[in-house]
Amino acid sequence: MHGMNRNSIDDAADHFSWRSLNSVTPFLWEYRGRVLIALLSLVLSKLAFVGVPLLIKEIIDHLEKVQADTLLVAPVALVLLYGLLRLLASLFNELRDAVFARVRYHAMRRLSTQVLQHLHKLSLGFHLERQTGGISRDLDRGARSASTILNYLVFNIIPTGVEFLLIAAIFLTLYDVTFFLVVAGAILVYFIFTFAVTEWRMDFRHRMNRLDSEANNMAFDSLINYETVKYFGNEDLETNRYDDTLKKWEQWGVKTQTSMSLLNFGQSAIIGLAVTLVMWYAVQGFVEQRMQISDLVLVTTLMIQVFIPLGFLGIVYRQVKYTLADMQRLFDLLQQIPDVQVVADDRDIQLDGGEIRFENVDFSYQPERRILQQVSFTVGAGEKVAIVGHSGAGKSTLSRLLYRFYDVTAGDILIDNQSISKVTQESLRRAIGIVPQDTVLFNDTIYYNISYGRPDASREEVVRAADMAHIRGFIESLPKDWDTVVGERGLKLSGGEKQRVAIARAILKQPVILIFDEATSSLDSKTEQAIQETLREVAQHHTTLIIAHRLSTVVDADRILVMEQGRIVEQGRHQQLLRENGIYADMWELQQREEEEQEAES
């Protein structure tokens, strides 16, 4: 996971787990009224539930004392009261569940939304290193775990605590302190044993979770790269890598289950011993006539009522620890800090033509490898400037910096004399439209993908943007026209069709600044010429920055900047740069020769 290695996560398990538990409390506070009603219902339910064995004792005592002719008076009333208490216990129990449902599902919704929102706020550096499959699994497990934690708190942990307090009060009030000491001692030993063994077993769960996420990521990665797998015939390699990870997951899973069996047996032994001791003291009290049959029944019933949920509480504690472990990775994501920080007094950018100015910009992804060095240039409002250079010269980095996916190491970038580090990222990105080299589309309709440029646009505006991108005719020739689903990442469309969708999307956005980032470099010559004509039309009324490898696509630019090893080494118009007979002229001659050879071959 970005910014934190896995060993450090495991070592800090407890710290992060309990912090994760604290992170759930805001969801409870948001619906504190419902939580209060649920807790009140819980207490009333337990009072009714614990009142049932006391009532049974009263019925038995009364039956021993009354005469036959009065048998149908008080006992019948007590039996009816018994039925009422059982009914009330069930009613308050179900009321608690119904009232708390809103809290539980709202917490799941809010947490899932909060994480997705946070992931979108994280910088590009994080997303370039992320593992999509692993994050998907962490998000799913974490949201479900939040619901599980809340359920355990309200339906298991708190009810058991309330019930134990009520039963302890009965033992201390009605019977010898020995009964209370035995029960309290057994519960203490039970908790110490459960906590100790569960903590020992938590490492198994952490390893299982990590391997589960790794395996899931491998599966996602191999399916996303389905064509590459097929190209090289590496289906067995992908399956074996996946299976090797699952084999390790299986081993830790077996250890988890066998250690759970040890824990279950130990818990059962403690409960069995405690019940035996209490029953021994109760029987001894009856023999010595210090207790009656009704007392024996009451003690037995109370023991059942306290130890059955206690048995579940052991399981609950384990599950709470597991769900906290599941939540841990989710809350680690929420702790990630974006590389690009928001300044407190950020204001929306004020546009006046869209002039772009780079002032002595230095940038490096890692300190030891500088990408840009002292880059300075200006793109005037409405001007079309091209940036060319060999691969690795730093051309595409300029567009990422202009979008503020990264902050510059030194220098500044300004739009209409406003530093982009001093304006809101939302307003900055609204001002810029981009047609990238690799257009990735959503697995949705063509209409949705074009309207994504401005979701509130009318249908007429979407159709007009498609017209300007010269793709409307193609769309309306399809069997489902605008409702055609493009497939994952737009795989059902050709490269040229995807580029036209990207152009229509950028047009619909109505930006002041347009960036074409090697938008035609992966297309064939005929498609490239058609798209280039479209780009020229689109660029006429915008400040345009063209990042290109193929020089034939930028000969009509107002100015061409030539980059070499992160610096601007030449600039001017096409003919001027050819006359200078420098790097641009060499690149032009080389590309012309390559095109002539390709034509000769074809």
Which residue range forms the structural domain that includes residue 325? 10-335
State the amino acid at position 59 in one-letter form. I
Render 61-127 in DSSP notation, one character per residue.
HHHHHS-GGGTTSHHHHHHHHHHHHHHHHHHHHHHHHHHHHHHHHHHHHHHHHHHHHHHHHS-HHHH
Same domain membership, residue 125 and residue 60: yes
Q: Is 346 a domain residue? A: no
Same domain membership, residue 231 and residue 322: yes
* Token pair listed for 255: 């250890």
Q: Which of 328, 320, 331 is nearest to 114 (CA)?
A: 331
Q: How far apart are CA 475 and CA 501, in angstroms?
A: 10
CATH of the domain at 469: 3.40.50.300
Same domain membership, residue 484 and residue 388: no
Q: Which of 182, 148, 190 is nearest to 24 (CA)?
A: 148
pLDDT, tens digit, 9 for 90 and up, residues 233-277? 888 888 998 999 999 999 988 888 888 888 888 888 888 888 888
What's the chain's length in residues? 602
Angle at alpha carbon of residue 205, lines to 117 and 125, rounded to 5°: 35
Same domain membership, residue 242 and residue 189: yes
pLDDT at position 134 is: 57
Same domain membership, residue 184 and residue 294: yes
pLDDT, tens digit, 9 for 90 and up, residues 279-324? 888 888 878 778 777 777 788 777 777 777 766 666 677 677 667 7
Same domain membership, residue 96 and residue 165: yes
Mean pLDDT across the chain: 79
CATH of the domain at 156: 1.20.1560.10
Q: Is 1 a domain residue? A: no
Same domain membership, residue 410 and residue 285: no
pLDDT, tens digit, 9 for 90 and up, residues 115-129? 777 777 776 666 655
Same domain membership, residue 480 and residue 526: no
pLDDT at position 127 is: 61
Q: How far apart are CA 385 and CA 379, in angstroms?
A: 6
pLDDT, tens digit, 9 for 90 and up, residues 544-573? 898 888 888 888 889 999 998 888 999 999
Angle at alpha carbon of residue 109, lines to 107 and 112, rounded to 5°: 105
Same domain membership, residue 484 and residue 565: no
Mean pLDDT calculated for residue range 54-59: 70
Other CB atoms closer than 10 Å to residue 140's CB: what's the count? Answer: 14
Same domain membership, residue 535 and residue 448: no
pTM of the model: 0.60
Number of structural domains (the chain) is 3
Same domain membership, residue 274 and residue 150: yes
Beta strand residue intervals within 324-393, DSSP E:
356-366, 369-379, 384-389
